[in-house]
C-alpha cells in the first residue's frame, strides 16, 4: 500500500501544528521548552475550532494501516537503540553515581565473589533493600565485571513493557485492530510521554526497576490461567524490593472487585500485607544486625498538598480514568499508596525512580478500562463540554512532557575531559588493585572491587570515607575529580584544602585530572 506525502503530513492545521510540536520536542534541538511555541499555536487553533463548533476529531484508525504499522514498529526500534545508547553513554559521561548505580553494581560484583555484602553500606545486601531477585545478574559479573550489566538490565526491562502490553491487549480484545490501537497509545505513552515512567528510566537504579516485565507477565499468566507460572512470577516479584507486596495487594483488590477469582484475591491481599510486614520488620532488620533503618521515612499525613499534586501529575496523563473506573484502577492503588505513606518528598514527586511500579500497574489498569467497554469515547466527539475537557487534557499533557530521548542523548555524550578522566581512572585501578579505596560518588560506578567506600563531608568541611561498618579496613587512597559531580560533598574545594593540610595523606602527582591522596602509614 503506497501513501502520498499528504497522507503522511497532516493537512488539517490542528494536526499539522500538533505534529510540529511533537517533532520540535522530540528533536530537542531548539532547547528544552521551545516546543511550547508551536504547542500554543496548536492550542489556539483547536480552541478556535471548538468555539465555532467545528472541532477536529482525533482518531487512531490510521494506526491500523499496514504502512502505519511498519512505521510505528520502526519508530519503536529506533527508540530501543536510543535508550540503549543513552544508558551506555551515561556511564562514560559520569552521569551514574554510587547511589544508586554504583552501590548495586558493587553488590552484584561482591555476590560474584561469593559475598552478599555491600561495600558502600557496610552491611548485607538485603539490609538496605530486599533484593534477592536481582542476584542472578551476578552471573554476568563472573564473565566480565562491569556496571553496564546493572544499567542495561534496567533499560531492557523498561523496553520490554510495550511488547508485553501488546500481548495483554491481544488477550483482552477480540478485535485485533482495537488491540493494536490501544498498544500504540499506551506504548507511545510509556516510551515518550508519560513522565512518571520515563523519569524512573532516566534516574539511576533500584531493584524494583527490573520488576515491570515480571508484573506484566504475571498478569498475562492470570489472563491465560497459567497458574504455576503466575505464582512463581508473583513470588519472584517479592524479591525486587521490600514493598513489592503492594503488587500482590493490588492484584488481589482487582480480583475481588472485578473478577470471579475472589478467594484468590483475598489470599493475595493477605499474602501481600504479611510479606511486607515480615520483610520490612523482621527479615531486613536481621540482615542489618537489627540496626535502625535509614530508608523508611513514614509520614502519611505530612505535606498533603504535595501529595495531592503528585496524584494529579500521575493521573492526569491518563485522564483520571483509573480513578473514575476505580474497580480497575485499584490494581495500582496500593503501589501508589506506598509513595503517599512516605514523608520524603522525592517519593511523591514523579521525578525520581519511585513510580516504576505504579506506572506499570496503571498501564494494566488502562487496558482493563478500555477492554471492559466502560469508556464511551463518543462523548469527546459529540459534546462541546467533552471537547473543552479534551483540550484541557492535551494542554496538561504537553505542559508535563518529560525530556525527550534525543535531549537525554545529547546530555549523555561524553566530552574530551570525560575520556581523559576515564583513562586515568583505568590506570589508577590497575595501579591500586586490591587496595582499599574511597571515591567521590560520581567515580564509584567506574570501579569493580570489594574494598571501596564513598567519600562524604561533615559539618566542619572535613572529608572522610563513609564507614558504616567499623570493622572495614582503613582506606589507602582517596580519589577525587574536581570537574565532576560531588554528591555528599557540599564544598569540594574546602574538602581538598583540608586534606592538603592534613599530615595523614600525601597527594600523588602523576595524574592531571584526578586528585588522589595516599594515606601515610
DSSP string for residues in 45-79: HHHHHHHTT-PPPP--GGGGSHHHHHHHHHHHHHH
Q: Output the pLDDT for position 381.
A: 55
For residue 295, the model assigns a pLDDT of: 62
Going by pLDDT thresholds of 50, 70 and 90, the confidence category of residue 2 is: very low
User: Out of 35-39, 83-87, 89-93, 227-231, which region has the weakest mean confidence (pLDDT)?
Assistant: 35-39
CA atoms within 13 A on the CB side of 501: 9
Q: Over the chain, what is the mean pLDDT?
A: 90
User: Does residue 444 belong to any structural domain of this protein?
Assistant: yes
Q: Give residue 327's domain range.
A: 96-243+297-375
- In this model, does residue 358 exceed pLDDT 60? yes
- Asked whether 90 and 96 are in contact (CB, 8 A), the reply is yes
pLDDT band at 5, cuts 50/70/90?
Answer: very low
DSSP secondary structure string for all residues of 424-438: HHHHHHHHTTTS-EE
| Mean pLDDT on 424-430 | 95
**Do 169 and 101 share a structural domain?**
yes
Question: What's the mean pLDDT in 279-301?
Answer: 81
Let me know whether 64 and 124 are in one domain. no
- Verify that 161 and 190 share a domain, yes or no: yes
* 248 inside domain: no
- Is residue 292 one of the residues assigned to a domain? no
| pLDDT value of position 51 | 81
* pLDDT at residue number 1: 41
In this structure, the answer to whether residues 353 and 222 fall within a common structural domain is: yes
Whether residues 4 and 151 fall in one domain: no
pLDDT, greater one: 165 or 461: 165
54 falls within a domain: yes
Other C-beta atoms closer than 10 Å to the C-beta of 409 total 17
310 and 219, same structural domain? yes
Q: What percent of the chain has pLDDT over 90?
A: 66
Is 173 found in the same domain as 101? Answer: yes
Helix (H) / strand (E) element for 394: namely helix 384-399
pLDDT grade for 290, boundaries at 50, 70 and 90: confident
Q: Which stretches within 28-160 are classed as H helix?
A: 36-51, 66-92, 103-112, 138-143, 148-159
**Cα 278 to Cα 273: distance, rounded to the nearest angstrom:** 9
How many separate domains does the chain show? 3
pLDDT digits (tens, 9 = 90+) for 445-482: 999 998 999 999 988 888 989 877 766 778 999 999 99
More confident site: 296 or 134: 134
For the record, the C-alpha cell of 45 comes out as 487553533
Cα distance from N-terminal residue to C-terminal residue, the chain? 77
Q: Does residue 401 sit in the same domain as residue 310?
A: no
Last residue of a domain, one of 325, 352, 375: 375
**Is residue 269 included in any domain, yes or no?**
no
Residue 3 has pLDDT above 60, yes or no: no
Residues 220 and 322 reside in one and the same domain: yes
Q: What is the pTM (predicted TM-score) of this model? A: 0.93
Q: What is the pLDDT of residue 459?
A: 82
Q: Is 80 exceeded by the pLDDT of residue 128?
A: yes
346 falls in which pLDDT band (50, 70, 90)? Answer: confident
32 with 104, same domain: the answer is no
Same domain, 130 and 217: yes
Please give the average per-residue pLDDT across 71-78, as a whole number: 94
Please state, as a whole number, how many other Cβ atoms lie within 10 Å of the Cβ of residue 60.
15
- By percentage, how much of the chain surpasses pLDDT 70? 93
Band of residue 383 on the pLDDT scale cut at 50, 70, 90: low
Amino acid at each position: 500500500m503506497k501513501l502520498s506525502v499528504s497522507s503522511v503530513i497532516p493537512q488539517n492545521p490542528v494536526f499539522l501544528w500538533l505534529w510540529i510540536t511533537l517533532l520540535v520536542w522530540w528533536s530537542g534541538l531548539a532547547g528544552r521548552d521551545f516546543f511550547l511555541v508551536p504547542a500554543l499555536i496548536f492550542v489556539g487553533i483547536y480552541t478556535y475550532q471548538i468555539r465555532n463548533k467545528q472541532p477536529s476529531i482525533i482518531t487512531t484508525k490510521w494506526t491500523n494501516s499496514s504502512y502505519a504499522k511498519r512505521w510505528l514498529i520502526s519508530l519503536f526500534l529506533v527508540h530501543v537503540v536510543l535508550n540503549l545508547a543513552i544508558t551506555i553513554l551515561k556511564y562514560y559521561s559520569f552521569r551514574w553515581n554510587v547511589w544508586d548505580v554504583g552501590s548495586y553494581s558493587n553488590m552484584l560484583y561482591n555476590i560474584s565473589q561469593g559475598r552478599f555484602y555491600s561495600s558502600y553500606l557496610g552491611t548485607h545486601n538485603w539490609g538496605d533493600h530486599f533484593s534477592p531477585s536481582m542476584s542472578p545478574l551476578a552471573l554476568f559479573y563472573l564473565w566480565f565485571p562491569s556496571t553496564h550489566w546493572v544499567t542495561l538490565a534496567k533499560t531492557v526491562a523498561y523496553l520490554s513493557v510495550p511488547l508485553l502490553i501488546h500481548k495483554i491487549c491481544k488477550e483482552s480484545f477480540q478485535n485485533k485492530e482495537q488491540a493494536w490501537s490501544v498498544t500504540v497509545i499506551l506504548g507511545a505513552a510509556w516510551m515518550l510521554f508519560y513522565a512518571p515512567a520515563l523519569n524512573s528510566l532516566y534516574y539511576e537504579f533500584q531493584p524494583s526497576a527490573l520488576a515491570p516485565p515480571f508484573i506484566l507477565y504475571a498478569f498475562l499468566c492470570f489472563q491465560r490461567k497459567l497458574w504455576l507460572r503466575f505464582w512463581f512470577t508473583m513470588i519472584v516479584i517479592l524479591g525486587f524490593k521490600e514493598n513489592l507486596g503492594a503488587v500482590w495487594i493490588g492484584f488481589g483488590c482487582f480480583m475481588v472487585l472485578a473478577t470471579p477469582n475472589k478467594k484468590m484475591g483475598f489470599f493475595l491481599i493477605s499474602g501481600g500485607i504479611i510479606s511486607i510486614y515480615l520483610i520490612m520488620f523482621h527479615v531486613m532488620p536481621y540482615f542489618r544486625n537489627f540496626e535502625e533503618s535509614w530508608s523508611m521515612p513514614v509520614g502519611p499525613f505530612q505535606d498533603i498538598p504535595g501529595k495531592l499534586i503528585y496524584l494529579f501529575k500521575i493521573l492526569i496523563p491518563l485522564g483520571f480514568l483509573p480513578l473514575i473506573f476505580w474497580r480497575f484502577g485499584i490494581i495500582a492503588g496500593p503501589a501508589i499508596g506506598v509513595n503517599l505513606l512516605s514523608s520524603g518528598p522525592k517519593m511523591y514527586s514523579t521525578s525520581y525512580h519511585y513510580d516504576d511500579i505504579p506506572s506499570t500497574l496503571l498501564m494494566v489498569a488502562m487496558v482493563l478500562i478500555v477492554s471492559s467497554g466502560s469508556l464511551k469515547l463518543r462523548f469527546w466527539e459529540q459534546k462541546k463540554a467533552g471537547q473543552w475537557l479534551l483540550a484541557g487534557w492535551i494542554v496538561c499533557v504537553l505542559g508535563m512532557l518529560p525530556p525527550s530521548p534525543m535531549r537525554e542523548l545529547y546530555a549523555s555524550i561524553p566530552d574530551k575531559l570525560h575520556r581523559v578522566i576515564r583513562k586515568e581512572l583505568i590506570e589508577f585501578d590497575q595501579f591500586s588493585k586490591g587496595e582499599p579505596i574511597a571515591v567521590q560518588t560520581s567515580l564509584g560506578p567506574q570501579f569493580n572491587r570489594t574494598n571501596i567506600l564513598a567519600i562524604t563531608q561533615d559539618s566542619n568541611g572535613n572529608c572522610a570515607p563513609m564507614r558504616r561498618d567499623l570493622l572495614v579496613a582503613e582506606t589507602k587512597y582517596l580519589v577525587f575529580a574536581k570537574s565532576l559531580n560531588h554528591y555528599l560533598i557540599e564544598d569540594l574545594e574546602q574538602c581538598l584544602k583540608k586534606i592538603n593540610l592534613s599530615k595523614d595523606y600525601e597527594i600523588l602527582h602523576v595524574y592531571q585530572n584526578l586528585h588522589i591522596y595516599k594515606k601515610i602509614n
